[in-house]
A and B are shown apart, each in its own frame.
Chain A
Amino acid sequence: MIAFVGYAFFGGLLAYAAGAVASLITGRSERLARLLCCGFAIAGALLETVSSWLALFGASDAHWEIPAGVPFLIYSFRLDPLSAYFNLILSLLAVAISIYSVGYLRPLDGKGSAGVLGFFYNLLLLSLTAVFTASNAFFFLIAWESMALAAYCLITFEHRHETTRQAGVLFFVMSHAGTGCLIIGFLLLNSFSASLEFAAFAASSAQLTGAWQAAVFLLFSLGFGVKAGVIPLHIWLPEAHPAAPSNISALMSGVVIKTGIYGLARVLFEFLGFPPLWAGTIVLTVGVVSALLGVLYALMEHDLKRLLAYHSIENIGIILIGFGASLMFITLGHPKLAAIALIAGLFHTLNHAVFKGLLFLGAGAVLHATRTRNMEKLGGLIRRMPQTAFFFLLGAIAISGLPPLNGFVSEWLTYQALLAGFGTTGKLTRVLFPVAGSLLALTAALAATCFVKAFGITFLALPRSKEADDAHECGASMVAGMGILAAVCVALGLGATWFLPVFDGITERVLGVRMSAELVGAGGWVLTSGSARGGTVSTAGIAAMFVILSALPALLWLLWGRKGHRYIEPTWDCGLPGLTAENEYTAFAFSKPLRMIFAALYQPRREIQAEYEVSPYYPTAIRFDSEIESPFEDRLYAPLQKRILAIATWMRGIQAGSIHAYLAYIFITLIVLLLLGVRS
Chain B
Amino acid sequence: MNAFAPALIQLLLFLIIAPLVTGVIRTMKAKFQTRRGPRIWQPYLELHKLLRKGMVIPDTASWLFSATPYVVFLTAAMVSLMIPMVAIDAPLSLFGGVLAVVYLLALGRFFLALGGLDTGSSFGGLGSSREMTISAIAEPAMMVAIFTVAIAANSTNLSEVAKSAVGQSWRFLAPSQMLAFGALFIVLIAETGRIPVDNPATHLELTMIHEAMILEYSGPYLALIEWGASLKQLVLMTLLVNTFFPFGLSPDWNMPGIAIGLGFYLMKVLIICCLIVLVETTNAKMRLFRVPELLAVAFILGALALISTFLF
Chain A residues with a Cβ under 8 A of chain B: 380, 382-383, 393, 397, 400-403, 408, 412, 415-416, 419, 422-423, 428, 430-431, 434-435, 437-439, 441-442, 444-446, 448-449, 451-453, 455-457, 460-462, 522, 526, 529, 533-538, 541-542, 545-546, 549-550, 552-553, 556-557, 559-561, 563-573, 579, 581, 583-586, 589-594, 596-597
Chain A residues positioned under 8 Å from B85 (CB to CB): none
Q: Is the CB of A571 within 8 A of B121?
A: yes
Chain B residues positioned under 8 Å from A445 (CB to CB): 106, 135-137, 139
Q: Assess whether B198 is interfacial by the CB under 8 Å rule.
A: no
Q: Which residue of B lies closest to A380 (CB)?
A: B60
Q: Is the CB of B151 within 8 A of A419?
A: yes
* B57, B73, B121: the one within 8 Å of A569 (CB): B57
Chain B residues positioned under 8 Å from A584 (CB to CB): 120-122, 125
A451 to B128, CA, bound (A): 12
Q: Assess whether B312 is interfacial by the CB under 8 Å rule.
A: no
Chain B residues positioned under 8 Å from A457 (CB to CB): 117
14 contacts between A and B (CB under 8 A): A419-B150, A438-B144, A438-B147, A456-B117, A460-B114, A537-B95, A537-B100, A564-B54, A564-B219, A568-B58, A585-B126, A589-B129, A593-B129, A593-B130
1/0 per residue, CB under 8 A from A, across B41-65: the answer is: 0000000100111111111111110
Q: Is the CB of A560 within 8 A of B96?
A: no
Closest chain-A Cβ to B195's Cβ sits at a distance in Å of 19
Chain B residues positioned under 8 Å from A428 (CB to CB): 310
Q: Is the CB of B110 within 8 A of A573?
A: no
Q: Is the CB of A553 within 8 A of B73?
A: yes
Known contacts A435-B303, A533-B157, A535-B97; A449 and B147 CB within 8 A of each other:
no
Chain B residues positioned under 8 Å from A400 (CB to CB): 106, 110
Closest chain-A Cβ to B245's Cβ sits at a distance in Å of 21
Q: Is the CB of A438 within 8 A of B220?
A: no
Q: Assess whether B288 is interfacial by the CB under 8 Å rule.
A: yes
Q: Is the CB of A526 within 8 A of B95?
A: yes
Known contacts A538-B96, A549-B78, A589-B125; A430 and B143 CB within 8 A of each other:
no
* B78, B136, B156: the one within 8 Å of A446 (CB): B136
Instruction: For chain B, residues 103 to 124, give those with C-beta under 8 angstroms from any C-beta of chain A.
Output: 103-104, 106-107, 109-110, 113-114, 117-124
A518 to B268, CA, bound (A): 38
Q: Is the CB of A569 within 8 A of B117?
A: no
Closest chain-B Cβ to A388's Cβ sits at a distance in Å of 13
Chain B residues positioned under 8 Å from A430 (CB to CB): 310
How many chain B residues touch A (CB < 8 A): the figure is 87
Q: Is the CB of B139 within 8 A of A444?
A: yes
Q: Assess whether B207 is interfacial by the CB under 8 Å rule.
A: no
- Judged by DSSP, the binding face of B is helix
7 additional contacts (CB under 8 A) given A441-B139, A533-B160, A536-B94? A402-B107, A419-B147, A536-B96, A537-B99, A567-B54, A571-B119, A594-B133
Q: Is the CB of B103 within 8 A of A408?
A: yes
Pairs A-B, 10 closest by C-beta atoms: A585-B125, A456-B117, A461-B120, A535-B156, A564-B54, A560-B51, A441-B143, A445-B136, A445-B139, A571-B58
* B73, B81, B118, B137: the one within 8 Å of A461 (CB): B118
Chain B residues positioned under 8 Å from A408 (CB to CB): 103
Q: B52, B59, B139: which has the most chain A beta carbons within 10 Å? A: B139
Closest chain-B Cβ to A560's Cβ sits at a distance in Å of 4
Closest chain-B Cβ to A672's Cβ sits at a distance in Å of 57
Chain B residues positioned under 8 Å from A449 (CB to CB): 132-133, 136
Chain A residues positioned under 8 Å from B74 (CB to CB): 546, 549-550, 552-553
Q: Is the CB of B103 within 8 A of A556?
A: no
Known contacts A545-B92, A553-B73; A590 and B155 CB within 8 A of each other:
no
Chain B residues positioned under 8 Å from A415 (CB to CB): 99, 156
Chain B residues positioned under 8 Å from A422 (CB to CB): 147, 151
Q: Is the CB of A382 within 8 A of B64?
A: yes
A397 to B107, CA, bound (A): 8
Q: Assess whether B190 is interfacial by the CB under 8 Å rule.
A: no
Chain A residues positioned under 8 Å from B154 (CB to CB): 423, 533-534
Chain B residues positioned under 8 Å from A529 (CB to CB): 156
1/0 per residue, CB under 8 A from A, across B137-168: the answer is: 10111111001101100111100100000000
Q: Is the CB of A434 within 8 A of B151?
A: yes
A294 to B172, CA, bound (A): 38
* A434, A452, A560, A591: the one within 8 Å of B147 (CB): A434
Chain A residues positioned under 8 Å from B55 (CB to CB): 564-567
Q: Assess whether B302 is interfacial by the CB under 8 Å rule.
A: yes
Known contacts A537-B99, A542-B96; A569 and B143 CB within 8 A of each other:
no
Q: Is the CB of B60 within 8 A of A462?
A: yes
Chain A residues positioned under 8 Å from B13 (CB to CB): none
Q: Is the CB of B56 within 8 A of A569?
A: yes
Q: Is the CB of B97 within 8 A of A537?
A: yes
Q: Is the CB of B129 within 8 A of A437?
A: no
Closest chain-A Cβ to B132's Cβ sits at a distance in Å of 4
Q: Is the CB of A566 within 8 A of B130?
A: no
* A434, A563, A597: the one within 8 Å of B52 (CB): A563
